[in-house]
Amino acid sequence: MKPIKFEFLLKPTIWAGEEITKMKNIADKKGIGESWEISGVPGDETRVVEGDDLGATLPELIEKYGAKFVGEKNLQQYGTTFPLLIKFISAAEPLSIQVHPDDAMANRMGHPYGKTEMWYIVGSGEGASLCSGFAHDFSAEAYTNSLEDGSLEEHLAYHDTKAGDCFFIPAGRIHSIGADNFLIEIQQSSNDTFRVYDFNRTDAQGNRRELHVAQAQEALDYKAYDEYRSHYTAEQNAATLMVECPQFTTRLIKADQELVMNYADIDSFVILIAYEGSAQLTDSEGNTTTLAKGESILLPACNENLTITPVGGEQFSCVETFVV
């Protein structure tokens, strides 16, 4: 099975920046805040762009190829549901302050999975920041009171951002992407978001977006933690671990010379999301393709290795993720 590219889905938002359309060289689209690169979310499935499976969705590919496509364990655990959703996010203004449910709460809602996610900052403007977690231990009662007296933002933990920063956002953690951030988001395949506060913004029709105060109160983890960043030291011509959790593993790949990745012991598909340079990819069956910044690609689980050859010996960088 060859590496697979999908037709990305562009999502307009009220807080959108311009980095997605610039990176993808899309001149005729404005206000695009998200690009859903690889998605099996019902109603928002990305489709194969070339080859024998042209037009197929992720559930259709899983139905057709089974464990060869996603891996034995993933097939047993998730069936024909693809477990991850991959995005680029570009924010000119802050996103709403929000929280996502865990699997147990999502199940009570009749949904299969909650939403744990991570962010890799591709770029940020001067003074950019984001919110992740509470600055001190909080409570459901204090949360309700802070909404009533308008003090919620005073209780949140804010973090300056720069290119290369990584943040793990487990289900239950209050968070918001701040203005002037461009990032890659890897998350569980869920679109469940409880909006806590939206800065009293209105849409084009003058309507405020719906808030989900009660649901958020149930979903929130009110404990404060000592550290909210995921610390790592990037290695050149190697894959550097950034996040490892039950929902996904994420590594950073940076290369300016040929790099061989061994996937023989990984019982999972592997996704690469490129944000710098371009590279020729050669899989274990000798299939070749090119991956350039702004593109994403999925390697089926049956692939045992991948040779990454940066074009022209220039720097190539991507985020890699899989589920084991």
- Amino acid making up residue 161: T
Residue 203: its pLDDT value, please? 74
**pLDDT tens, position by position, 177-200:** 999 999 999 999 999 999 999 988
CA 159 from centroid of its chain's CA atoms: 19
pLDDT grade for 204, boundaries at 50, 70 and 90: confident
**What is the domain class of 238-322 according to CATH?**
mainly beta
In this prediction, residues 22-43 reach a mean pLDDT of 95
Answer whether residue 157 shows pLDDT above 90: yes
Domains 6-219 and 238-322 equal at CATH topology level: yes
Residue 217: its pLDDT value, please? 95
Residue 207: its pLDDT value, please? 85
Answer whether residue 224 shows pLDDT above 90: yes
Residue 58: its pLDDT value, please? 98
In this prediction, residues 62-81 reach a mean pLDDT of 97
Residue 185 in tokens? 């988001």
In the chain, what percentage of residues exceed pLDDT 70?
Answer: 100
- For 194-240, the three-class secondary structure string (H helix, E strand, C coil) is EEEECCCCECCCCCECCCCHHHHHHHCCCCCCCCCECCCCCCCCEEE
- CATH topology for 6-219 is Jelly Rolls (2.60.120)
Q: Where are the alpha helices (DSSP H) in the chain?
A: 19-23, 58-65, 67-70, 72-78, 103-108, 140-149, 213-219
- The residue behind tokens 């899309």 is 26
Alpha-carbon gap, residue 29 to 185, rounded angstroms: 21
Alpha-carbon gap, residue 182 to 206, rounded angstroms: 27
Answer whether residue 27 shows pLDDT above 80: yes
Q: Provide DSSP, 144-161.
A: HHHHHHT-GGGGEEEEE-
Please state, in angstroms and as integers, the Cα–Cα distance from residue 40 to each residue in 7, 44, 61, 114, 219, following that order: 12, 7, 10, 15, 24
Answer whether residue 252 shows pLDDT above 80: yes
In this prediction, residues 288-308 reach a mean pLDDT of 98
Answer whether residue 304 shows pLDDT above 80: yes
pLDDT grade for 171, boundaries at 50, 70 and 90: very high
Residue 253: its pLDDT value, please? 98
pLDDT grade for 131, boundaries at 50, 70 and 90: very high
Phi-psi region of 74 (alpha: psi -120 to 50; beta: other; left: phi over 0): alpha
Q: What are the boundaries of each domain within the chain?
A: 6-219, 238-322
Residue 208: its pLDDT value, please? 85
Per-position b or e across 230-264, b if 16+ CB within 10 A of its CB: beeeeeeeebeebbeeebbbbbbbbbbeebebebe
Residue 206: its pLDDT value, please? 81
Residue 209: its pLDDT value, please? 84
Query: Is the distance from CB of 190 to CB of 109 less than 8 angstroms?
Result: no
